[in-house]
Structure 1
Amino acid sequence: MTATDTIRARFQCAFPGFDLDVDLTLPATGITALFGHSGCGKTTLLRCMAGLQSASGTMTVFGESWQTDDIVRPVHQRPLALVFQETHLFPHLNVRKNLEFGYRRIPARERKIGFDHAVRWLGLESHLARMPAGLSGGERQRVAIARALLTSPKLLLMDEPLSALDLASKQDILPYLERLRDTLAIPIVYVSHSTAEVARLADHIVMMEAGRVVAQGPLRETLAGTDNPFRLEGDAGVLLEGHITDLDEPWHLALFSFDGGQLWLRRDDRINPGDSVRVQVLARDISLALVEHSDQSIQNLVPATIDRIDPDVDPGISLVRLLAGPTPFLSRLTTRAVDRLGLEPGRKVWMQIKSVALVN
């Protein structure tokens, strides 16, 4: 990556009992997730990038300096947009006028996103005459995102935009965020502590702990590493990208094909043969066998080769990284089982995968 197609951010700032010290190079496309437990510094880093938090350091976006050791652009001089947990819509203006508020302040020649495009991307065609008070939480957040896009930003920053929503509203808005990820040329930095949101939306991940970056990189590769500092979480696992290649209508199943094998998952009315999808397989849902056992209830049996074995947080547990073709998987086993089966790098095994979850 070169300076003209990356986001470089280096910041240091201190608070009582906490200090932030990060140095990042982020891709200038797709969604980058800032991920970690509450209090790790995700929002502070986002505020530094926006110019809302005083910090020493530098920031360049597409080769353009927004902050140096000598010059700091204030937030209103940074071509970015912010979406927060709270939507901050103008209560006295309807949806159309809320959207037009920022749009009209951008000279026509500088507009990169058309009004009708933003409305269509966020599914707001039938809501333009409504008042904010009459919208659901998910609808208000979609208006806030559309309003941010209509300022034609070079960078979109989102601070846990779904955390204030109930589960139904989150499920409603996630497809719109996926559409933006797949459609926009604008990079999005997305703060979250939800592994489900990150798994579904992100292309790149920055893992933070105590104000420091502890891991970063493309989402799939980073999650599949046994040295991932969050590997000890109960939902540690891998993401797979592939296609739906067949449907088994009588049994309500769909066949997912990836580079290295195939997996059956529960049929979802949203998917059809040929669709590109993303699925998640958790480490706790993979057991290993030395030979193929077809006389069992587990239907997903995939041959693989052990890549490496590392200790987990509990000395009685091991984390095994496997390769099915070029595709990595993680399996969490007791160390006793690893020893009794004679598992070691290079050993051929069968993965018995109990559950596969569609995440988009």
Structure 2
Amino acid sequence: MTLRTGRHFLQIPGPTNVPEQVLRAMSAPVVDHRGPEFADLTHRLLPALAEVFGTSGPVVVFPASGTGAWEAALVNTLSPGDRVLCFETGHFATLWRTMAEQLGLRVEFVPGDWRRGADPGAAAERLAADTGHAIKAVCVVHNETSTGVTSRVPEIRAALDAADHPALLLVDTISSLGSIDYRHDAWGVDVTVAGSQKGLMLPPGLGFNAVSAGALAASSAARLPRSYWDWGPVIEANAAGFFPYTPATNLLYGLEEALRMLAEEGLPQVFARHARHAAATRAAVRGWGLEVLCADEREHSGSLTAVLLPEGHDADKVREIVLDRFDMSLGTGLGRLAGKVFRIGHLGHFNDLTLAGTLAGVRMGLELAGVPVRRQGLDEALDVLAGCPRTG
């Protein structure tokens, strides 16, 4: 067994490092989830949570992963046989499509190359052609965790509005909420899906749906079976500060502390920090002579970067060396990207020196794996972090 010293670098795109303050908050004694102390927590927590989503409407919290939150979004708004428009932007978009089909929905899947986000032009074309309004929902992954590509959600909303189409807009923000600018109300989103283990700096275990008035209205007529995932009982119980089931009490204590930390830094500053770290990472990748997977400059992710290796080199071999030699975990390539890319997570509780150490470990791993790289990439990243990018 290899002796490890120092801390492990967890640089996957989630679960992310949990701050000590959040861990301490979660270690509080368990309280009665039917008592006044817990009700007070709920009444403090839900408005603070809504601010991160950018909504004045309800945010439903489930003890669940993001996948559970996907299912909740679908079953509360749709009926068997409904048509849904989805976009092939990566592995998780494909999984959401599969879930929709398994629930009995008819999915129109716009093909993609996994290097670009949801295509607003394709959305506009399909919505304009749907004069009978057979499409009941449009599903978009805001930040595709498998690719490091961020879809332009406001442009998808604009396509819906231009077609005067009543379809609901459902958006997955599992790897963008609390890391990349996102505005549920301002962007006209009907259901926002999120999870606790990425930008919210918590362990896995909480799933979220932010819900518009239109989505609530749709839920009254939706006929997909639901019980545990039903929004209605949760929203009703939340009004008194409770939940219709046993909640993940100590995760909620951690969530309150995480929300306090985000508010203290300020969401605009949080987003700017993530964007700067992403820019530094891309500078390193390009300085090494490698390729960032995201092919559209408008769609670079602030929370992770997927690095495409040259033909004949195995990304998983790089990850294996980095873990064995430097005790750092990088994200694997998923689905069709297996072995072709590795992913650098730079989101959540993260700072400049952590990123510098991460990029140093990546460079050493690339060299040990025999991937030809130029050594100046790390210097170029450090220049970005120091605020003095090179002009030459």
**TM-score normalised by the shorter chain: which range applies?**
under 0.3
TM-score by length of 1: 0.27
What TM-score do the two structures reach when normalised by structure 2?
A: 0.25
Q: Which has the higher helix share?
A: 2
Q: Which structure has the highest strand share of the two? A: 1
**Bigger-Rg structure (1/2):** 1
The structure whose RCO (Cα within 8 Å, separation 6+) is larger is 2
